[in-house]
Structure 1
Amino acid sequence: MKSVLFAAALALLGAAATTAQGRALPPSPTDTIVVRLPNKVLMTLVVRDAQQLRQLPQYHLDSLVARLGGYIKQADEAAQKASTDRVTVQYFPNQDQPGQGLPEEVRITTRKRGGAARTNRVDVALDKAFGLKLEIDENGKKSYSTHRDERRQAERDSARQARNEQQSSSTHVIFDLGLNALVNNHVERAAGQPGSAPPDLRTGGSRYVSFGLNFQQRLGGRRSPLYLAVGPEFAFNNYMLEGNYKWLNQNGLTSTVLETSGRQYQKTKLATSTLTVPLMLQLNTHGHSHFRLGAGGFVGYRLASWTKLKYFEEGTTYKDKDYGSYNLNDWQYGLQGTIGFKTLTFFAKYSLNPLFRDGQGLQAQTLSFGLRLLH
């Protein structure tokens, strides 16, 4: 590999120098010369004049190629540990060993493994004006860029990584949309009253909606992926019954009973609004993966509750709405968690205490789950 590269460069030097003598190259624009090597390797020379080509042998390209192997290995290891999907590393061989004719600067930009294609870009600055770029693409795709383009990309990569590392706190608007289920139902759910029935919730109508703010504070150093998340949320829970059952609050007891008057209900639901404060530990990884995992608890206070009946009689649609406590527990507390990848995030919340007061209603806990649409 080293001999092929060196021989190709020397042959190219003679041809380019002869061509340059035949026609004067303008001092300001740059010429790009591409050398195609085995294994789909491309070597690109960016020069301003023939004099720069004549200086090429003094840089000992065979030694340069040997050094690049070690540099690329180090840069690849740094990319796998970085929080971004693209990392640029700079080396200065001439400063480490002056007088050896080594390159003034070596800049390597590499991507993490795992994508459809992985590209290592190596940009070697032999002096302030003479650039040598070696590009390796597993798919054989050609890509050309000037020394200035690579420097700008390196500056953007460094600035983006610095922002990710220095941002210790942030605030996000969240919006959750999901479903409710009642679990762990007990026998005393209807307190033994005749006509009562266990709740059978309509899946599509028993919705959970929540929106609020999420304050995140980094825990640990500036590269720590661990955050403490807290914030107020307003939550709305619907418990819609299947069939012709309705929620009934009678004699200090709340139960579900079958309508026997002949009226057919289109919707019968119990709804609550709650102010909730979650507290979670959250793991956030930045960069291409951007994986999120959170776990913690919540406590909430019931703001309002009501029942709603929708039915059709004599050509008219009726909607009866009745506000009341319905023997619901004012305070709800429990566990919650989130898991997400890029823009997709799932949530789940489980209440540890019953939905209704002890002995005054159905003894069951609420399980809510769904998608976080904003985060």
Structure 2
Amino acid sequence: MQSSLFSAALAALLAAASFSTQARTLGPPPADTIVVRLPNKAVLTLVVRDAQQLRQLPQYHLDSLVARLDGYIRRADAATKAADTERLTTVFHPNQDQPDQGLPEEIRITTRKQSGSAYGPSNKVEVLLEKKFGVVVNIDGKTNDQPRAAASRPDRQAYRDSLREARWDRKSSSTDVIFDLGLNALVNNRIDRVTPAGQTPTSPLDLRTGGSRYVNIGLNFKQRLGGRRSPLYLKVGPEFAFNNYMLEGNHKWVNQNGLTSVVLETNGRQYQKTKLATSTLTVPLMLQLNPHGHSHFRLGAGGFVGYRLASWTKLKYFEENTTYKDKDYGPYNLNDWQYGLQGVIGFGSLTFFAKYNLNPLFRAGQGLQAQTLSFGLRLLQ
């Protein structure tokens, strides 16, 4: 009976399609909505862009779709009863289950818990056919002939929450481009300064704050751990980090006799910039918490391991009315492998990060024995 009613309604809609086309003289609007109230209290709503889409409906075998929907609704109702929310949206993909059968690409069923009723007072079935037009079926649990009242504010909010949960379900994994911009500092400095033999020790080592920059760009692969409502994610991915260690005053980095040192320039030359820079391939491994209902809040912690790709020193000075930039590549007794801890905390578009190297920047006995601390803002993720 329900199938014949559906067929009759569809035939009426197809007959009216030519009238709808003739009446449209200024070009079709983005979408037309056609509402059909069936004798069994069901409401059928079709959303189409033009009459041609309406004429294409028979190729999707909508009669058999009605029978298929009954099974989907029962499965959605069972999922809602087992869920810990009052309202739940379940998504089915018939065309993926049975390819090349002319089945809908997506069916979304929103149900809510209700005692004494098979499917609750208002189940909404959204059918997407080849991403062209939609069919919406409202199953009303009322038995009188009065039209169903407009949804209340709590119902509308519950529906929005169900859509948000559906989007939450789809975000079980993702790939994010990240871009960090921050500063470097040297901590746990066990030797204030390192100077070559025979030279007078200088004042304690200081880094120029604004020039000791940290830049990091990479990809993070994020995978949810646990069930669909789990707020815990695992993040891993390749990153390229660039660390600058710029000195204050007229000091410079010197590499000689197997020792990387910081010394004061004594020949009268005044440096505008003097820095040691490194580039590193880093692989982080982090656990990130996105509490359910607060998808914009992030809290993550974990570790990282990286390998030094290149290192160099750069001197910039002005002499005889000419600006010189001397760049010298070399290992500078740096540890090739770096490893440490890192964390992020953010809300919305604002995210802070911090990275702490557990091993020293230089090899033991061949340079400054201190760890690197990088911190700043994550501009992309």
TM range, normalised to the smaller chain?
Answer: 0.5 to 0.7
What amino acid is the match of 1:242? E
Kept in 1: contact 2:275–2:314 (CA 8 A): yes
Shift of 1:187: 2.7
Who is 1:105 aligned against? 121
Quick check: 1:195 aligned with 2:200? Answer: yes
Alignment of 1:72-111 (within 5 A): 78=85, 90=112, 92=114, 95=117, 105=121
Q: Which amino acid aligns with 1:236?
A: F
Q: What amino acid sits opposite 2:220 in the alignment?
A: N
Q: Which secondary structure does the structure 2 equivalent of 1:95 belong to?
A: coil
- CA RMSD between the two structures: 3.5
**With structure 2 as the length reference, what TM-score do the two structures score?**
0.61
The answer to whether structure 1 residue 268 and structure 2 residue 274 are counterparts is yes
Instruction: Tell me, in whole angstroms, the C-alpha distance in 2 between the residues paired with 1:89 and 1:342.
Output: 30
Q: Which amino acid letter does the alignment assign opposite residue 336 of structure 1?
A: Q
1:162 match: 166
- Identical aligned residues as a percent: 73
Task: Provide the residue aligned with 1:176 in structure 2.
Answer: 180
Q: State whether residues 195 and 263 of structure 2, in contact with CA within 8 Å, keep that contact through their aligned partners in structure 1.
A: no
Q: 1:306 to 1:211 in 2, by over 3 A?
A: same
How far 1:169 moved relative to its partner?
1.4
Any residues of structure 2 matched to 1:28-67 within 5 Å, and which?
A: none
Distance 1:196 1:204, change over 3 A: same
**Distance in 1 between the 2:190 and 2:233 partners?**
38
1:333: which partner in 2? 339
Task: Give deviations 1:251-282, integer Å, cap 9, x for gaps.
Answer: 11111111111111100000000000111111
Question: How much does 1:287 deviate?
Answer: 4.2
Question: TM-score, normalised to structure 1's length?
Answer: 0.62
Note the C-alpha offset of 1:106.
6.8
Change (3 A) 1:161 1:322: same
The answer to whether the 8 A contact 1:188-1:359 is kept is no
State the secondary structure of the residue aligned to 1:185: coil
- Measured in 2, the distance between the counterparts of 1:253 and 1:322 equals 16
Match of 1:238 in 2: 244
Aligned residue type for 2:348: K
Partner of 1:357: 363
Runs of 4+ off more than 6 Å = none
Deviations 1:12-49 (A, max 9, x none): xxxxxxxxxxxxxxxxxxxxxxxxxxxxxxxxxxxxxx
| Aligned with 2:307 (options 283, 301, 305) | 301
In structure 2, the CA distance between the partners of 1:135 and 1:166, relative to structure 1 (3 Å rule), is closer
CA deviation after TM superposition for structure 1 residue 90, in Å: 3.8
After TM superposition, give the deviation of residue 189 of structure 1 in Å. 4.6
Give distance in 1, aligned partners of 2:356 and 2:190: 17
AA matched with 2:200? G
Over 3 Å counting, the alpha-carbon distance change for 1:254 and 1:91 in structure 2 is closer
- Quick one: which amino acid aligns to residue 324 of structure 1? G
Residues 205-220 of structure 1 mapped to structure 2, 5 A cutoff:
205-220=211-226
Matching residue's letter, 1:174: I
1:312-345, CA deviations, whole angstroms, 9 ceiling, x for partnerless residues?
1121111110001111110111111111112111
